[in-house]
């Protein structure tokens, strides 16, 4: 316990330092963005409008930059930052308490992430894409090159721009150039193929980090 750290402990510390430093930097960027959303959404919207990316401008349209979004992002970023800071400081100081807390929180986080992934995927398969779900529906349509209820959308007077991909921005999507793949079927196929791998990746990443914390703690 009080001896010189071994090679395994040093490797575990290096993993914790690198991963948690990257996570803290990302959380800092998200937190700064969330504060901007809360304090001055008008100026943020003006900056976003100057970005040479129609996808970014559309997904981060002015009506999506609400105070509730900013608060939610700020709280999420702050929580993850604190967890990452525990891992970073614990790796440096070999604090028994910090490393144990970090290991426990990392395992709790993977349970929460898997539960959320299951909830959203099952809801998506049950209900499909809904207009009230917001901007993320556009991202899913573009990512999967699909449009919901393909057989029935030809009668709709105004299709979502994302049913035609980037060419549909802002209101140029018509039944003649819309995606022909149904989103519900396409997402279902993707989930059947990759859902297990997604769960395994989440669990493996968190287990590795938790194990590194315990290895560093016991050195």
In this structure, is residue 175 part of a structural domain? yes
In this structure, is residue 2 part of a structural domain? no
Supply 63's token pair: 């009506």
Decide if pLDDT at 150 tops 70. Answer: no
In this structure, is residue 150 part of a structural domain? yes
pLDDT digits (tens, 9 = 90+) for 5-52: 678 889 999 999 999 999 999 999 999 999 999 999 889 888 888 877
Q: Judge contact between 159 and 168, C-beta under 8 A.
A: yes
User: Using CA atoms, how far apart are residues 203 and 183, in angstroms rounded to an integer?
Assistant: 27
Decide if pLDDT at 194 tops 70. Answer: yes
pLDDT for residue 154: 46
What is the residue-wise DSSP string for 135-148? THHHHHHHHHT-BT
Kindly report whether the peptide bond that precedes residue 206 is cis, defined as omega within 30 degrees of 0: no
Average pLDDT, the chain: 86
Residues spanned by the domain of 101: 7-218
User: Using CA atoms, how far apart are residues 59 and 86, in angstroms rounded to an integer?
Assistant: 33
User: Using CA atoms, how far apart are residues 205 and 210, in angstroms rounded to an integer?
Assistant: 9
pLDDT for residue 1: 44
In this structure, is residue 1 part of a structural domain? no
pLDDT digits (tens, 9 = 90+) for 46-55: 888 887 776 6
In this structure, is residue 85 part of a structural domain? yes
pLDDT average, residue stretch 197-214 = 94
DSSP state letter for 176: T
Strand partners of residue 182? 147
User: Using CA atoms, how far apart are residues 140 and 191, in angstroms rounded to an integer?
Assistant: 13
Q: What is the pTM of this model?
A: 0.80
Q: Judge contact between 141 and 162, C-beta under 8 A.
A: yes
The residue among 153 and 85 whose pLDDT is bigger is: 85
pLDDT for residue 169: 74
The number of domains in the chain is 1
User: Using CA atoms, how far apart are residues 96 and 98, in angstroms rounded to an integer?
Assistant: 6
Decide if pLDDT at 203 tops 70. Answer: yes
Supply 80's token pair: 């993850």
Q: What percentage of residues in the chain have a pLDDT greater than 90?
A: 47
């Amino acid at each position: 316990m009080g001896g010189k750290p071994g090679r395994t402990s040093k490797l575990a510390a290096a993993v914790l330092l690198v991963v948690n430093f990257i996570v803290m930097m990302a959380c800092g960027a998200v937190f700064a963005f969330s504060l901007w959303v809360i304090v001055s959404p008008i100026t943020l919207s003006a900056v976003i409008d100057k970005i040479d990316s129609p996808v970014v401008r559309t997904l981060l349209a002015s009506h999506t930059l609400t105070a509730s979004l900013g608060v939610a992002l700020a709280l999420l970023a702050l929580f993850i930052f604190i967890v990452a800071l525990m891992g970073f400081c614990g790796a440096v100081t070999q604090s028994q308490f910090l490393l144990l807390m970090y290991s426990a929180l990392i395992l709790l986080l993977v349970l929460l992430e898997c539960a959320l992934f299951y909830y959203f995927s099952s809801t998506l398969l049950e209900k499909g894409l809904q207009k009230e779900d917001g901007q993320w529906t556009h991202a899913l349509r573009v990512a999967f090159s699909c449009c919901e209820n393909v057989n029935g959308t030809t009668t709709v007077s105004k299709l979502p721009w994302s049913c035609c991909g980037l060419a549909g921005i802002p209101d140029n999507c018509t039944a003649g150039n819309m995606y022909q793949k149904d989103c519900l079927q396409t997402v279902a196929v993707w989930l059947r193929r990759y859902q297990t791998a997604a769960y395994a990746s989440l669990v493996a990443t968190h287990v590795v980090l938790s194990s590194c914390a315990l290895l560093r703690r016991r050195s």
